[in-house]
Structure 1
Amino acid sequence: MALAITIISVLALTACGGSAGSNESADSGSAETSLADTGGGRAAEGTAAEKQAAEPGQDTKQAPAVAKQAIISTGAIATEVKDVAKARTRVQHVTDKHSGQVAEQETGTDEDGRPGHARMVLRIPSASFAEAMAELEKLGALVDSSTTATDVTTEVVDTDVRVKNARASIERIRTLLARAERIGDVISIESELASREAELNSLLAQQAHLADQTSLSTITVSISRDGTTPADGSDSGFLPGLSAGWGALRAAGTWLATGAGVVIPWVPVIALVGVPLWLLARRRRQLPTPAPAAAGAAGTAEGADA
């Protein structure tokens, strides 16, 4: 009976101590909250006053915090210009103006070595996406322009929460690992820790990819030379005719050179096989053949002797 009374007394004292600690923590938290409210009260009032002055008639009640909207914006532009090289330079200027970068670039040339078409993939900050698209559409004769916007706010928020939970889980597992004493427990906990860390790394990679896609928009610019308008602005006269004739001569020379390149490897083979056959046939034609009349006379003389 005395032992039971002692246990009950200890439990009662412990409960009282825990309650007192809770009250002290609550009082401390209330004090900190009061200090925070006192220190930030003027700033809050100033912000509310500024909002009311800027938007008269609006309710100054503070709205609940919401997640920032995350949008992946992509655009594609196809245009025709007279000078592809100059248009490509203008695209670079637009990219530099908006602090972007050229992620990919390829250029094709015509028979004269001049740029005939170009394709450039740009990464532009999302805040400047609409302005950059409007400027790039003015490069030349616009053939096609399209934009796509994908809202990934939910995916971004979900990934952030999963990253936070994964980190907290890893910290708890590390705490258990520090307290483990048996080898079997250590091995089991380390295996679980490695699995959680691999999952966290995957989530971090996904988080970085989403951040890159939402912070930088992608614009693909396809530039081609206008086929209906010559580069020099004229399609008749002596110089265009001379240029066309020279081009035809070059094409003919290229065709002949190609044919010679195909035939030349066969010349040694034809010489090794054809020349002996030709000499053999010529020798056979030079051998004498017996006359039919001489053969008949020889036969008659033999019959008379008999």
Structure 2
Amino acid sequence: MKRPHARSIVLVSTAAAALLALTACGGSVNDSSAGTVASDSAARAPDAKNPNGLAATEQGAPAAPESGGGNASGSQSSTAKPGSNAVSPASLRAAQQQLARRASVALEVKNINEAVAKVRSTTIAADGIVLAENIGTADKDAPLADSSQLTATTYGEITVSVPSSKLDAVVADLGSVGKVIRSTSSSEDVGSQIVDTQSRLETMRVSIERVRGYLANAKDLNQTVALEAELTRRQADLESMEAQLAALKDSVAMSPVQVSLTTRPEVIAPAGTTDDAGFLAGLKGGWKAFTASVQVVLTILGALLPFAVLFALVGVPAWLWWRRHRPARTAPAANATPSAG
């Protein structure tokens, strides 16, 4: 009777162990399923940044923090269509350059005054201004071959200033005033000068503010006088640099055009002719110096001639009268007497 009872105990123990094993496996499976569901719910939970309840990866956007704005903008530029806002290297270089341009045009015309009027109207139409005007005379930089033929009816010169963006159009329009004898243009990049002047201006402004601070804290009269003198000097330098910067920017914005008008084309020197060296250049320079010296001497003689005439009419008769009426000189008396024998 005892053997069946022992067998029952063994069977009950085995069943209890199996039940415990199944309970443990079920708990682990439930924990794993709960973790999966929780993570999936967290991924799909709506928030302020993702109101649709979708994860960033499911929306197709990279899961990056807000501090990565630089990377985000870089990715946007990389995914932009090529050529949508592209700037050519030539346009970029042109935008960065600060060019001061100028031009010179020589025209053969029939009437000087009428040609000058046309040049004025062309300049005004291009929003330009007239800087100088000479009729019958020429500037030292005028492209002349023979200045001896300059008269009010044979030569005129007008210098205008037009916006740099319209320089080429103005030069082309001036071709309708007369026959073009010569036309030249040049440009200079003043961008480095503008940047340098701007930098010096900023430094000078900071320096002036520093001196003003020292002046406000000055303790005695000597310090006040010295600081005021230094402040005045630096303010003068600042104004000078501001004027220089304005002139540089104006040279970029506006371009001067020297227009030479003549009824005799032989007066204008052909373009590209240079005689700055050699025997002929020396001979020409010497002849010009000689004629200039003769002109100076003749000018001096012309200025002295009225005084010479006045002296001849008044001074010479007065001198002759004085010489005729001056007292005669007496012979000197003998100082030594003859000794007695």
Question: With structure 2 as the length reference, what TM-score do the two structures score?
Answer: 0.46
For residues 108 and 201 of structure 1, the distance between their equivalents in structure 2, rounded to whole angstroms, comes to 39
The structural deviation recorded for 1:211 is 2.0
Q: Partner of 2:118 in structure 1?
A: 90
Instruction: Give deviations 1:139-158, integer Å, cap 9, x for gaps.
Output: 22211111111111111110
Tell me the SS of whatever aligns to 1:128: helix
Q: Which residue of 2 aligns with 1:75?
A: 103
**Alpha carbons 1:137, 1:145 under 8 Å: kept:** no
Give 1:35-74 correspondences, 5 Å limit.
Answer: 52-53=83-84, 55=86, 68-74=96-102
Residue of structure 2 in register with 1:149 after alignment: 187
**What is the CA deviation profile of residues 258-293 of structure 1, one whole-angstrom value per residue up to 9, with x for unaligned ones?**
xxxxxxxxxxxxxxxxxxxxxxxxxxxxxxxxxxxx
Q: Residue type of the partner of 2:119?
A: V
Query: Shift in Å at residue 196 of structure 1?
Result: 1.3
The Cα shift of 1:66 comes to 11
Cα RMSD after superposing both structures: 4.0
8 Å CA contact 2:135, 2:152 repeated in 1: no
Equivalence for 2:205: 167
Which of the residues 250, 253, 263 maps onto 1:215? 253
* Alpha carbons 2:102, 2:257 under 8 Å: kept: yes
**What secondary structure is seen at the aligned counterpart in 1 of 2:192?**
helix
Q: Equivalents in 2 of 1:184, 1:141: separation in Å?
A: 70
Tell me by how many angstroms 1:164 deviates: 1.2
**Residues 214 and 51 of structure 1, relative CA distance in 2, 3 Å threshold:** farther
| Per-residue Cα deviation, 1:125-144 (whole angstroms, up to 9, x for no partner) | 11111111122133222111
Name the amino acid aligned to 2:159: V
- Give the gaps of 5 or more residues in structure 1: 1-36, 229-306
Further displaced range: 183-192 or 165-174: 183-192
Residue identity opposite 2:84 in structure 1:
A
Worse-matched range after superposition: 158-167 or 65-74: 65-74
Query: Residue type matched to 2:170 in 1?
Result: A
The one-letter code matched in structure 2 to 1:91 is V
Matched residues in 1 for 2:156 and 2:130: separation? 13
What is the one-letter code of the residue matched to 2:262? Answer: S
Contact map agreement 1:82 1:226 (CA 8 A) in 2: no
Q: 2:154 aligns with which of 116, 121, 131?
A: 116
Q: 1:49 to 1:117 in 2, by over 3 A?
A: farther
Aligned position for 1:237: none
- Output the CA distance in 1 between the equivalents of 2:81 and 2:170: 33
Partner of 2:56: none
1:138/1:172 CA distance change after superposition, 3 Å: same
Deviates more, 1:76-85 or 1:119-128: 76-85
Give the Cα–Cα distance (whole angstroms) in 2 for the partners of residues 227 and 162 of structure 1.
48
After TM superposition, the runs of 4+ consecutive aligned structure 1 residues lying more than 3 A away are 48-52, 64-68, 113-116
Question: Which one has the bigger helix percentage?
Answer: 1
Match of 2:15 in 1: none
Aligned residue for 1:82, secondary structure, equals coil
In 2 relative to 1, CA 143–77 (structure 1 residues): closer, same or farther, beyond 3 Å? Answer: same
Map 1:199-214 → 2, pairs under 5 A: 199-214=237-252
1:185 CA displacement: 2.4
Normalised by the length of structure 1, the TM-score is 0.51
Taking the aligned partners of 1:67 and 1:193, their CA distance within structure 2 comes to 38
What does the per-residue CA deviation read over 1:54-90, in whole Å, with 9 as the maximum and x for residues that have no partner?
Answer: 55xxx99xxx999842211111111112233332222
- Whole-Å separation in 2 of the counterparts to 1:114 and 1:128: 30
Is the contact made by 1:117 and 1:225 (CA closer than 8 Å) also made in structure 2?
Answer: yes
1:117 is displaced (CA, Å) by: 2.5
Contact 1:67–1:153 (8 Å) recurs in 2: no
1:135 aligns with 2:173: yes
> Does 2:99 align with 1:99?
no
Q: Count residues in correspondence.
A: 183
* 2:156–2:261 Cα contact (<8 Å) kept: yes
Are residues 114 and 155 of structure 1, via their aligned partners in 2, closer, same or farther at CA, if it must alter by over 3 Å? Answer: closer
Which letter maps to 1:136?
L
| 3-state SS of 2:115 partner | helix
Deviation string, structure 1 residues 90-144 (Cα, Å, up to 9, x no partner): 21221012100111112249xxx98432210001111111111122133222111
SS class of match (1:220): strand
Counterpart contact for 2:181–2:265, Cα < 8 Å: no
